[in-house]
């Protein structure tokens, strides 16, 4: 166990080193505190600048124009009757019968994806 006399003797022998160490520790602490405060101020200034930019974009209510309700919809078809089937012309225009080659390509692409998914399954 360390006695009180040993501690006093150690302090007397190393007083200069201890004072310098504590002074350096205090300087480092003050520097870290100053840097922390500076960083917080910089972030606050950045946030204030962004808030001012956003506030400048706000349209004043006097300048904002709203149309009279209800809106007129002249010439616009709001809904239509769906057809239950295509006419022969529509079917000829929009529907293409897939070839055997394109179906085989589609099947192989799907099979590749399935195999890739199932690789990781235990």
Distances (CA, A) of 90 to 78, 84, 97: 23, 13, 14
Average pLDDT over residues 49-54: 90
What is the value of pTM for the model shown?
0.38
Using the predicted structure, report yes or no on whether residue 109 has a pLDDT greater than 70.
Answer: yes
CA distances 11 to 1, 5, 8, 64, 86, Å, are 17, 10, 5, 77, 101
Count Cβ atoms within 10 A of the Cβ of residue 111 and give its class: 0-12 exposed, 13-18 middle, 19 or more buried: exposed
Residue 21 reports pLDDT greater than 90: yes
For residue 77, pLDDT beyond 70: no
Computed over every residue of the chain, the mean pLDDT equals 86
């Amino acid at each position: 166990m360390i006695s009180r006399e040993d501690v006093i003797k150690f302090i007397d022998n190393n007083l200069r080193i201890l004072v310098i160490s504590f002074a350096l520790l205090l300087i480092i602490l003050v520097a870290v505190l100053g840097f922390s405060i500076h960083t917080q101020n910089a972030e606050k200034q950045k946030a204030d600048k962004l808030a001012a930019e956003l506030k400048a974009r706000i349209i004043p209510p006097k300048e904002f124009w709203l149309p009279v309700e209800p809106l007129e919809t002249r010439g616009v078809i709001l809904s239509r009757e769906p057809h239950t089937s295509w006419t022969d012309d529509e079917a000829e225009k929009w529907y293409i019968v897939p070839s055997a080659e394109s179906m085989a390509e589609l099947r192989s692409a799907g099979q590749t994806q399935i195999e890739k998914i199932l690789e990781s399954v235990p």
